[in-house]
Structure 1
């Protein structure tokens, strides 16, 4: 079976690796460089907290488990840091939802406990516990973060070395061609074509693009902004989630900062300077939590399109437009990618359907079209 995977981000790399492992002849077509788009500009937090409803939570838990299971394939997983997360809320209006999420996560068996301020100060001496309000502090020991570029590099290299997969960078796809309503070939903008029995679209924030005979899915993507400090002499290990802000170490002494209210100021993924209003807002917020950053300025600010299918949930399954066209797009790619790659390979290559993906099929976006067509015919 010849499979073309469009996109080499964390989802595309996972799909390519698992399909090649399952015995398919895999070709990856990447518009730019491997992991060069959203995957490399991601907070990259592996978690299932606040992931509702239950089927979506279960999918994310399966992804967290699949990250650990990759160690069986590689022996080591240098892209994965399971350092745990610490969370609190300072705004009174946020406490009820915060407490209810804790209760529900406990009920569903997720790893979470309350910790004291003294415990947090012992765990993370760089954190200014005085900046935390009177509410409780939660600790999620099973959560972590990954380096998406390393993840993609290791999986694609293994797919090539072990099973002969091909990876083509700077090969932007502009058409999926069909014969008799079935996938036949994939063509890039330079005119090169690749034979295909199946095409798996892993283009993330560009999954709404029409590619020749193939439709995309509706998206409601938004803009993400990340700030990066230069190397600093801190010992921070855990991720910190305070109100609308996320903080974590990013290797080589750098600290990564994300703040939802900063994201909301962006209408497009335009470049931002390190002295921009957005950069200043990130640093003002993080200095309250990590006072050692008082004299530190950002080294880089990066923006990207964060992929969201129109209803906010993962989209995985056969597209209803043409036979052999499969979609694998999700906002939770960092968490569920290794599981989603395996599930896609099972369905596309082995013919084994995953019942836990039934909630997330692409058909949900096209049912109104079918209904309209039936009404017109009547």
Structure 2
């Protein structure tokens, strides 16, 4: 049944698009406001879907759940540019690689140890492979801007409004509750405002006195011109993470978050791309097309911030660096919470209130 509540989603990257789509499918009255479809951080993402190393078990479980939700989303949204290509990883010292395999394998992740000969079968285009790597067949990638645009287009079909190239200046509250936003085009009223604005989240939340502890480190990723297939899946090698997109571009960073661009980003990009070519067979004709520098919205403890503000009723926060992996799950849970005005226990570790309790 359609909701009479007016909901504004600020941001049209992968998170904002997912939230808007899940709300629209539930019959909600939604307005999306952003500079452009696809957002700011999303186009600069490596777009790896995973529940990989470096996470405690509670976050691993959450990310694994999100991976399953990508499969659900693909069934509900035909044409989603999603590829379960698998990943070959050796970006850890041998003892840490083994510890990761044992830990995550024990949690149910499909980690498989592969010797050099099998790695060469999995990725024959790589020039130098280690004696031992890990292969995770269930990992994948998505073309993030195309996915966000597809979700937005379907949300529009359900009646969602999109205001493009509109700047949100501040949030508006009365008696401790959100009543709307002030934009460069004037005031818009709302019962709920969902912040999916990435690096812009802290400033907007601060306009109503809500502190969102956020860091925005830059990440440089190189993008080749489209080329013949050189990679079968994700390659997570020491100081070089790369994959080949659906249109044939090799994209790479010194890790999945991108390289530090420093003061000379073009020089960093050229050096990084030289490493890409050196690692790939038959890549003599591979050319650098462009590089991007994205600012990764990362809460200070590294984990997502998802949920309603305790200080301002009607304000809902969604900010995280793992936006690509988490998008379909966050979209569904955020829609459930906003429309049902209830709190989901699955999101308990990710509330903003954890910072004030620390």
User: Fold match, TM over 0.5?
Assistant: yes
| 1:72-221 to 2 correspondences below 5 Å | 72-74=75-77, 76-89=78-91, 94-128=93-127, 131-134=128-131, 136-162=132-158, 164-190=159-185, 192-210=186-204, 212-221=207-216
For 2:15 and 2:204, locate their aligned partners in 1 and report how far apart those are by CA, in whole Å: 20
CA RMSD between the two structures:
1.9
Inter-partner Cα distance in structure 2 for 1:335 and 1:11? 10
Q: 1:229 to 1:123 in 2, by over 3 A?
A: same
Equivalent of 2:288, from 298, 312, 316? 298
> Could you tell me which residue of structure 1 aligns to residue 311 of structure 2?
321
Query: Matches of 2:241 and 2:341 in 1, distance apart?
Result: 40
Equivalent-residue separation in structure 2 for 1:155 and 1:304 (angstroms): 22
Tell me whether 104-113 or 52-61 shows the greater mean CA deviation: 52-61
Instruction: Measure the CA separation in 2 of the matches of 1:231 and 1:72.
Output: 28
Distance 1:115 1:157 in 2: 42
**Stretches of structure 2 lacking an aligned partner (at least 5 in a row):** none
**Structure 1 residues 1-378: aligned runs within 5 Å:** 1-30=5-34, 32-74=35-77, 76-89=78-91, 94-128=93-127, 131-134=128-131, 136-162=132-158, 164-190=159-185, 192-210=186-204, 212-260=207-255, 263-266=259-262, 272=265, 276-294=266-284, 296-367=286-357
Q: Where does the alignment leave 5 or more consecutive residues of structure 1 unmatched?
A: 369-378
CA deviation after TM superposition for structure 1 residue 255, in Å:
0.7
SS of the residue aligned with 2:202? coil
CA distance in 2, matches of 1:102, 1:288: 28
Question: For 1:216-267, what per-residue CA distance to the aligned partner results, in whole angstroms no more than 9, with x for missing partners?
Answer: 4111221111101112223422110001211100122211111149723437
Q: 1:278-302 CA deviation, whole Å, 9 max, x = no partner?
A: 1222123223321323453311111
Distance 1:210 1:353, change over 3 A: closer
Give, in angstroms, the shift of residue 351 of structure 1. Answer: 3.2
- Distance change in 2, residues 1:132/1:122 (3 Å): closer
1:133 CA displacement: 3.4
Any conservation in 1 of the 2:9–2:194 contact (CA below 8 Å)?
A: yes
**C-alpha distance in structure 1 between counterparts of 2:94 and 2:118, whole Å:** 21
Distance 2:84 2:225 in 1: 23
Alpha-carbon distance in 2 for matches of 1:237, 1:176 = 46
Q: Is the 8 A contact 1:9 1:37 kept in 2?
A: yes
- Deviation for aligned residue 1:51: 4.6
Query: Does 43-52 or 204-213 show the bigger shift?
Result: 204-213
What SS is found at the alignment partner of 2:12? Answer: coil
Q: CA deviation at 1:125?
A: 2.1
Give the C-alpha shift of residue 181 in structure 1: 1.0
Q: CA offsets per residue over residues 78-107 of structure 1, 9 Å max, x none?
A: 321111101114x7xx22222111111100
CA distance in 2, matches of 1:323, 1:36: 26
Distance in 1, Cα, partners of 2:334 & 2:227: 41
Alpha-carbon distance in structure 1 between the residues aligned to 2:28 and 2:113: 47
TM-score (norm. length: structure 1): 0.88
CA distance in structure 2 between the aligned counterparts of 1:122 and 1:311, rounded to whole angstroms: 39
Residue 301 of structure 1 aligns to a residue in which SS? Answer: strand
SS across alignment from 1:358: helix
- Cα gap change, 1:249 to 1:116, in 2 (>3 Å): same
Aligned length: 352
Counterparts in 2 of 1:137 and 1:46: CA distance versus 1, 3 Å: same
**Counterparts of 1:235 and 1:281, CA distance in 2:** 20
Question: TM-score if structure 2 supplies the norm length?
Answer: 0.93
Match of 1:374 in 2: none
